[in-house]
Amino acid sequence: MVAADRDLKLRGYEVFRFGHDELKRPEDAKKLLLQFIPDMFSRFRVRL
């Protein structure tokens, strides 16, 4: 997994990893993603 992340980064991709425990419970996953996705869209200037 770490080697794959390095390879992607060298090719210019951003890598965002989530741990199993962060996504295990649906209510925790929803809260995390509802915060993360708008922040990511803002960083990369994505508009809907």
Amino acid at 2: V
Q: Please tell me the predicted confidence (pLDDT) of residue 1.
A: 85
* CA 8 – CA 46 distance, rounded (Å): 21
DSSP 3-48: HHHHHHHHTT-------HHHHSSHHHHHHHHHHHHHHHHHHTT---
DSSP annotation of 1: -
Mean of the pLDDT values across residues 5-11? 96
Q: Please tell me the predicted confidence (pLDDT) of residue 48.
A: 86
With 90 as the cut, is the pLDDT of residue 4 above it?
yes
Phi/psi of residue 29, nearest 5 degrees: -60, -45
pLDDT tens column, 10-34: 999 999 999 999 999 999 999 999 9
